[in-house]
Amino acid sequence: MRVLLREYADRGGTALLSSHLLHEVQAVADKLVIINLGRIVANGTPEELQGTRTTVVRALDQAMLATALETAGQPFKSGADGSLRVEATTEQVGRIAASSGSVLTELREQGEDLEELFLSLTTNTAQEVAA
């Protein structure tokens, strides 16, 4: 099926594929759209979407760190594992944490694969709707 879809697209055709098997989608898709609760939350080529770099950070006091990030104007998302994911460099996040007195237990840069990206864009919203 993958070969058939790729050959069709290479001849100028358009195929719409909906799947939760993101590694399979990545193998054939030229463009991806991630939809969550009826809204487009990501749109681009696999390379563009995978190029998203985030800083993963944890602190002894996550609430204190979250407040410091908000005060500094750095938006973040809460990861399913309890970490915070910030679209800023590790140096920027480290400086914000240091200035607030937050003690970090984790600070690293992470490039998201499509599954991680999908989960980071949809997990919190799904939990909020369930609540």
What is the tens place of the pLDDT at every residue in 55-103?
Answer: 999 999 999 999 999 999 999 998 878 899 998 999 999 999 999 999 9
Quote the tokens at residue 15. 């195929």
Residues 66 and 42 in one domain: no
Residues 12 and 28 in one domain: yes
Q: Domain of 34?
A: 2-46
Domain count across the chain:
2
Q: Taking residues 24-30, what's their average pLDDT?
A: 82
Residues 63 and 97 in one domain: yes
The answer to whether residue 79 is domain-embedded is: yes
The answer to whether residue 100 is domain-embedded is: yes
The answer to whether residue 30 is domain-embedded is: yes
Task: Tell me what pLDDT residue 57 has.
Answer: 96
User: What DSSP element (H or E) covers 123?
Assistant: helix 114-130
Q: What confidence tens digit (pLDDT) does each residue in 109-123 have?
A: 887 678 877 887 787
Q: Is the pLDDT of residue 131 over 70?
A: no
Task: Tell me what pLDDT residue 126 has.
Answer: 44
Q: Which amino acid is at 43?
A: N
Which CATH number characterizes residue 95's domain? 3.30.70.100
Residues 12 and 62 in one domain: no
The pTM score is: 0.51
Residues 57 and 41 in one domain: no
In three state form, how does the secondary structure of the chain look? CHHHHHHHHHCCCCCCCCCCCHHHHHHHCCCEEEEECCEEEEEECHHHHHCCEEEEEEECCHHHHHHHHHHCCCCEEECCCCCEEECCCHHHHHHHHHHHCCCEEEEEEEECCHHHHHHHHHHHHHHHHHC
